[in-house]
Structure 1
Amino acid sequence: MNTAKSTSTSMRTSYKLTKTGSEQFEDLTLYRSIVGALQYATITRPDLAFRVNKVCQFMSKPLHQHWSALKRILRYQRGSSTLGACIFLGPNIVTWWSKKQQTISRSSIEAEYRSLALATQEVIWIESLFS
């Protein structure tokens, strides 16, 4: 999946996953481990929750169409990692930003650290603006 192209959507809206329609996927362990990892990712990526839930419904007997849907979710996740922050002064938002990551983080902690560093930089700028 390292060389796979990213996609802008995680699942086609017209695509319906069913229990029949294609051959059974052979590597159950691979399918289940990727789905499990994606379930963990939904904690920090709520936009993936619905799609991951759909592929979870077929963990007992996945088909090739479910594997294709799972790969599409991975391609979407690869191309949509973003950093962002909102800076508030009391109840009012002063500034906000979001940008696409230029590198892929190896962990959510690394991504949070990068976001925190950029947010700290923004707070220091606002502090200098007020003084």
Structure 2
Amino acid sequence: MTGAKPISTPLPANSSLTKVGTPFSNATLYHQTVGALQYLTITRPDQSYAVNKVCQFMYTPTTDHWNAVKQILWYAKATIHHGLLLKHNSSTHLHDYFDADWAGCPDDHKSTGAYAIFLGRNLIAWSSKKQPTVA
């Protein structure tokens, strides 16, 4: 990781991770690394979607999944000084945003939905998860 090149996105928008591929030889390393990344999303919501995607393959990781995990780590290294900033703001307006990829998973055709809620300019809640049913 010390020699890794910084990148500007944790996961490309056009990336399509599937169950098909060459099995990753060290599943324990995959599990430990992805588990650590889950803790990172507490203060780094910009990585929630990407971490959610690689978490979906905990039982059968492939080399493509491991490459995606490395890309998330490279992004984390490049944006180490990013984080949540809470500012004093007299505004009490709530703003919420929601998005979904509408059957974006090629394996089961389920959607991944995400939301972000702001109080004034401060992010106060966010989530990204795969929907339980097919869209």
Q: Do the two structures share a fold, i.e. TM-score over 0.5? A: yes
**Number of the residue aligned with 1:16:** 16
Any unmatched runs of 5+ in structure 2? 92-135
- TM-score scaled by length of structure 1: 0.63
The normalised TM-score by structure 2 is: 0.62
| 1:33-81: CA deviation from partner (whole Å, max 9, x where unpaired) | 0000000111111111111010000010100000000000000010012
Shift of residue 85 of structure 1? 4.4
Pair member with larger Rg:
1
Counterpart CA distance in 2 for 1:38 and 1:61 is 18
Q: Runs of at least 4 residues of structure 1 off by over 4 A?
A: 83-87
Who is 1:7 aligned against? 7
| Aligned-CA RMSD value | 1.7
Structure 1 unaligned blocks of 5 or more? 93-131
Q: 1:50-61 to 2 correspondence within 5 Å?
A: 50-61=49-60
Q: Identity over the aligned pairs, expressed in percent?
A: 44
Alignment correspondent of 2:29: 30
| Number of residue pairs the alignment of both structures matches | 90
Identify the structure with the greater helix proportion: 1
